[in-house]
Amino acid sequence: MSAPRRTGAGLFAPDRATTPLGTWLKIASGEPAEIMAYAGFDFVVIDLEHAPLDLQTAYRLINSAAALGMVPLVRVPDKTASTIQKILDAGAMGILVPHVDTVEEAAAVGRACRFPPHGVRGAGGTSRAGAWGLRPGADYLATGNDDVLCIPQLESAEAIKAAPRILALDSVDAVFVGAADLSMSMGSTPASPEVLELIASAQEAAHTAGKRCGLAFGGAPERAARAVRDGCDFVLLSNDTSMLAETARGLVTAFREADGHR
């Protein structure tokens, strides 16, 4: 089986042999990106929503991830076209957009990801995405329209209800269900039956549209594997800060227990 193209769209290539597996990057340093590549992750999501990362840091992490063979995606902090354009010009192979609740919001985000006539993204062929002006213009424009992933995050019951119309948009490639925010908006928990029902609804809408639906599972690979068997198409496990924190706490706890002096 041939390997998928290392582009945003290649992450969801139909001939992929394995489920796309990613993690979040929250540390403002290149070393975690290197570690995730050597660990075997297929993609990373550089988190500009919940981490103190600026655009220049994201710029460096995008380059590191791509150079190491991973697909670099970025969770943008807002829905503005200017933010999305800068991230895509920096070479991101796709974006996750938080709190997309309506088809109108999804359509606006999708337009920001695509060049005219499919959208409103401005041409920046002298950026990294255009190989500093060395990439043929037609190739730069085609890649921007065909290979960049636009992934709205569905994080409310309103968003799940709108999922079939959101996924019907040509500019939307997949959706990501933010189970934590979804459950909080409902006064519930991510594992509650009503939340699981909404997640299943989003997955069904994605598959009906011929697209993908992803979820995050923290440090619970067994739960993630079960979700894939139940229809989840791509998975995020843990993040660089939590991996460090959990391993550090585990080492300290194990030592104190073995030492006996506590």
- Catalytic amino acids? 50
Sequence-ordered alpha helix ranges (H) in 99-192: 103-113, 137-146, 157-167, 179-185
φ, ψ of residue 174 to 5 degrees: the values are -165, 175
Max CA distance (Å), the chain: 69
Whether residue 151 contacts residue 178, with contact meaning beta carbons closer than 8 Å, is answered with no
Whether residue 166 contacts residue 172, with contact meaning beta carbons closer than 8 Å, is answered with yes
Tokens of 8: 């945003």
Element (H, E) at 211: none
Element (H, E) at 117: none
Whether residue 178 contacts residue 153, with contact meaning beta carbons closer than 8 Å, is answered with yes
Give the number of other CB atoms < 10 A from CB of residue 97: 27
